[in-house]
Every structure is written in C-alpha cells, then in structure tokens.
C-alpha cells in the first residue's frame, strides 16, 4: 500500500473517530464533530509540519549558523537527488532528530542541540541520511498526519472524561444515551487507538529508513554507532514536555515508556535496528 493511500485511510480514521465521539452528544454533536474533522484533515495535510516544528520551538538555521549540519544535509540531499530541505535546530538535551513536511519539495529536517553535542560528524551523517530516507520514501506526510490524528484523539478522550465526570449526555438521545461505564471505556480506548495508529505507520518504516540511510551515508556503522549512543543518552536525558502524539516522528523514542506505554512502542527495539545495520557490513 503506497503512502498516499495510507494517508487517505489515516485521515478517514480520524474523521470516523471524531464523529463517533461527537455522537455521544447526539446528532448535533456528530455534525459538529464532522465539521471539526474536515477542518483537521485540511490542517493535517497543509500545516501539520509547521505545527510540529512550532511545538518544539525549532529554529531554521542558515549555512553560517550551523556549517557542519547544513553542509551534511546538503551533500546527502544532492547525493540522493532530493531538493534541499529546510534545516532546523531545537533546544533539548535529549539527543534526537526528525523529518517533517508533506513531500520532498516541502521537507524539513530538525535536530536537537543535544544530538549535535553528542555525535561525531560521521554519526550525525548516518542520522541525517536516515531522516532523508524518510523524505525520499515520502514517509513524512503520513507520519506528521499521524501525529495530528493521535493528538486529536487524545484531546477528545480527555473531553469525554470531563463530560463523564460532569454528567455528559444529550437530551436528543436520552433514551439511548451511553452509560457512564461505556463513556469511560471509550475514553480509555481512544489513546490506545492513537498509539496503534502511530505503531502502524512507524515500525516498518524505521527499518526501511535505517537501510536507506545506511546506504546513503556510505557506511551502516555510522548509523549503528549513532543509534547506540542515542539510546544510552536518551535514557539518561529523556525529553521534557514531549507530546506523546509526536513520539513516532523521532529517530529514537524521546522518552522511556513504562508499563502499558511500553506495549505500544512506536519504534522497533534499537538493539534489533543495530543488529540489522551491522549485518549489512558482512
């Protein structure tokens, strides 16, 4: 299934879930939810990349502001016959990176200050090649739309929880109103559905981007060593104030999932990713 079809299905899921939640308040609630869903679908396609960059206060940099970073991105983009993406840096001790945008002509690559302090130039090259592989494979639109979808579902689940606490319902549907237990179950399942959406679009594409990035950088060990460092440092310095709905965008998890969250990890195990990269050198 190509990413264009996946994106259409993803936005369709968003619409269905929002209308379902709106239906708790009756027909009028469903209609309002449908309008909101259509607006979110439009926003997700055209502006979700800007939302993610703004969320982490990423600042666009020019060649003289980050010469090594900019030069490496430019060289890799030329090598892979890609348009030059915009380059961003965001402030965070957590070493990480992500790509966003709706297509290769409107792409952006963002790295944290922490990753610039941690990695060697070769390791940074491996990470940037991984992100440009996402751009070339057109993963970035569906990944960014998934972030918007997951954030919307989580937000609506919180609304339902508040409605349940204060006596939700609709006079138009008094005879068929959802019970408090049903509302609470839905409110619990919605965030899990958001995580499942992230999983569906994230795990397989990470392996593909690892392979593509390894080939583009010229040496799989560059990325393997980078992933090893990122995993270790990330556990010591998890990202603060990260939105879980965007966690699948990053090259490694920006926070350590525990308990139920660990069952819905948006990333494959780093150990497995490293093992696959090391096999490419044999």
* Chain centroid offset of residue 52 CA: 9
Burial 146-170 (b: 16+ CB within 10 A, else e): bbbbbbbbbebbeebbebbeeebbb
Check pLDDT > 60 for residue 130: yes
- Catalytic residue of the set 60, 75, 121, 131: 131
Tens of pLDDT, residue by residue over 48-84, are: 789 889 999 999 999 999 999 999 999 999 999 999 9
Name which of 261, 259, 226, 227 is nearest 247 in CA terms: 261
pLDDT value of position 241: 77
Q: Distances from the Cα of 42 to the Cαs of 3, 29, 35, in angstroms?
A: 17, 20, 11
Average pLDDT in the chain: 82
68-72, 162-166, 173-177: which is most confident: 68-72
- Domain chopping of the chain, boundaries: 3-279
8-22, 185-199, 228-242: which is most confident: 228-242
**Residue 65 appears among annotated catalytic residues:** no
According to DSSP, the β-strands at 59-60 and 97-101 are: unpaired
């Amino acid at each position: 299934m190509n990413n264009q079809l996946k994106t259409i299905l993803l936005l369709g899921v968003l619409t269905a879930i929002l209308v379902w939640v709106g239906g708790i308040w009756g027909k009028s609630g469903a209609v309002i939810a449908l309008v909101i869903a259509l607006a979110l679908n439009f926003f997700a396609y055209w502006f979700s990349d800007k939302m993610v960059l703004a969320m982490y206060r990423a600042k666009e940099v020019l060649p003289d502001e980050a010469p090594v970073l900019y030069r490496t991105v430019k060289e890799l983009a030329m090598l892979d016959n890609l348009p030059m993406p915009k380059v961003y840096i965001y402030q965070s001790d957590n070493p990480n990176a992500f790509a966003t945008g709706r297509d290769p002509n409107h792409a952006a690559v963002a790295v944290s200050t922490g990753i610039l302090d941690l990695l060697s130039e070769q390791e940074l090259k491996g990470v940037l090649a991984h992100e440009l592989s996402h751009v070339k494979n057109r993963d970035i639109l569906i990944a960014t739309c998934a972030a918007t979808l997951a954030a919307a579902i989580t937000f609506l689940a919180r609304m339902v929880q508040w409605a349940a606490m204060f006596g939700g319902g609709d006079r138009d549907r008094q005879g068929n109103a959802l019970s408090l237990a049903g509302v609470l179950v839905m409110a619990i399942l919605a965030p899990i559905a958001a995580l499942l959406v992230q999983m569906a679009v994230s795990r397989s594409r990470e392996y593909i981007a690892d392979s593509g990035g390894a080939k583009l950088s010229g040496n799989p060990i560059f990325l393997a060593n980078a992933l090893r460092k990122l995993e270790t440092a990330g556990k010591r310095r998890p990202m603060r104030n990260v939105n879980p709905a965007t966690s699948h965008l990053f090259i490694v998890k920006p926070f350590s999932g525990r308990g139920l969250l660990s069952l819905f990890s948006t990333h494959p195990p780093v150990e497995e990713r490293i093992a696959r990269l090391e096999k490419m050198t044999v």
